């Protein structure tokens, strides 16, 4: 299995452990991730809030290079995945959009390469059976709330990733790793994304609702597949505890980190030292690290 890898900007900064654990896990599973040369930012919410054509042309600049590599794209960041896949969809389905995008790019863009979210690649393309066969340290029944957020699943006509109201891809993975995915109602609620910086209190409130739902469902941890979900539930958790007077102490892992733990990879390769809420305590309790 070979994919063009689009890490996205957050994975060299606030989500550096997502990049590290993704590369480690892919190596261990034999999934080849080849970074798209000289890729640029997808533009994120700021581009599609400002100019529709800009929001398609920015991802297209990197996708042209993926076309040249002759492989489909794997995107770990849910936000990048959403913008890249939207671009492929728009360019494939509307000739006028393709002409506009090519004009501002200054080169042809055929949108041959499809874009897949990393959980789709690992859980659905690679498969849970193949993964289960490689598990060295089963998660010992760890109760995990799988949090999908928005951009991985919606809008479903574009993302084509699982059920938009009750996705189960990550739940199946946790099950295959020997954990216990808990059913809970906030799987696809929104964490507030970029309001984290501009309207932090709104994000505290949203994080509080999500964390409380996970806690009520009996979760010992949360897994995510998005840098914004991770930072809004982990980094903001400590502040939201002070603000709300509630207490959760729920570690928030990237799914690649727990996958790596179960595959027996060293903690240092998985970036487990860079969370706000202690990620190692429960892993030590279960003798997983």
Partner 1 sequence: MARGVLDLSAQASRDEFLREVEAEAGTKVSVCYQCGKCAGSCPVSFAMDWEPFQIMRLVQLGAVEEVLNSRAIWLCVSCTACSERCPREVDVAAVMDALRILARRKGYRAPEGEIATFHNLFLDTVRAGGRLHELGLMARYKLGTMNLFSDLDVGMTMMRHGKLKLLPHRIAGTDSLRNLFARVRERGQRGERR
Binding residues for partner 1, per CB under 8 A?
Answer: 9-10, 12-16, 38-41, 43-54, 57-58, 61, 96, 100, 103-106, 150-151, 154-156, 164, 188-190, 192-195, 197-200, 202, 205-206, 235, 238-239, 273-274, 276
- At closest approach, how far in Å is the CB of 235 from partner 1? 5
Q: How many CB atoms lie within 10 A of CB 100?
A: 17
Nearest to 48 by CA among 80, 74, 94: 80
Question: Hey, what are 11's tokens?
Answer: 């994975």
Q: Distance between CA atoms of 49 and 44, rounded to whole angstroms?
A: 9
Say if residues 272 and 257 touch (Cβ distance below 8 Å). Answer: yes
Between 56 and 174, name the residue whose CB sits nearer to partner 1: 56
- At closest approach, how far in Å is the CB of 36 from partner 1? 11
- At closest approach, how far in Å is the CB of 107 from partner 1? 9
Between 52 and 136, name the residue whose CB sits nearer to partner 1: 52
61: left (phi > 0), else alpha (psi -120 to 50), else beta? alpha
| φ, ψ (nearest 5 deg) of residue 252 | -120, 105
- At closest approach, how far in Å is the CB of 153 from partner 1? 8
Question: Hey, what are 116's tokens?
Answer: 């897949």
Between 92 and 154, name the residue whose CB sits nearer to partner 1: 154
Q: Distance between CA atoms of 54 and 57, rounded to whole angstroms?
A: 5
Q: Distance between CA atoms of 119 and 257, rounded to whole angstroms?
A: 12
Between 1 and 97, name the residue whose CB sits nearer to partner 1: 97
Between 53 and 68, name the residue whose CB sits nearer to partner 1: 53
- At closest approach, how far in Å is the CB of 51 from partner 1? 6
């Amino acid at each position: 299995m070979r994919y063009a890898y689009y890490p996205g900007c957050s994975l060299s900064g606030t989500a550096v452990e997502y990049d590290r654990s993704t590369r480690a896990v892919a190596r261990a599973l034999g999934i080849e991730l080849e970074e798209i040369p000289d890729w640029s930012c997808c533009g994120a919410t700021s581009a599609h809030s400002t100019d529709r054509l800009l929001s398609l042309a920015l991802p297209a600049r990197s996708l042209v290079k993926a076309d040249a590599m002759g492989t489909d794209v794997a995107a770990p960041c849910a936000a990048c995945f959403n913008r890249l896949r939207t671009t492929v969809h728009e360019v494939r389905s509307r000739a006028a959009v393709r002409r506009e995008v090519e004009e501002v790019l200054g080169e042809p863009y055929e949108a041959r390469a499809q874009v897949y979210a990393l959980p789709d690649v690992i859980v659905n393309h690679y498969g849970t059976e193949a993964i289960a066969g490689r598990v060295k340290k089963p998660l010992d029944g760890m109760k995990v709330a799988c949090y999908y957020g928005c951009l991985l699943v919606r809008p479903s006509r574009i993302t084509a990733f699982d059920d938009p109201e009750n996705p189960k891809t990550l739940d199946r993975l946790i099950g295959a790793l020997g954990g216990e995915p808990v059913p809970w109602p906030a799987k696809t609620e929104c964490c507030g994304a970029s309001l984290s910086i501009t309207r932090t209190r709104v994000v505290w409130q949203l994080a509080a609702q999500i964390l409380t739902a996970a806690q009520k469902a009996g979760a010992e941890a949360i897994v995510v597949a998005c840098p914004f979900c991770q930072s809004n539930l982990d980094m903001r958790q400590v502040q939201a505890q002070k603000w709300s007077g509630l207490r959760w102490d729920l570690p928030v892992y990237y799914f690649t980190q727990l996958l790596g733990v179960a595959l027996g990879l060293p903690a240092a390769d998985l970036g487990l030292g860079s969370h706000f809420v202690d990620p190692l305590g429960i892993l030590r309790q279960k003798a997983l690290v």
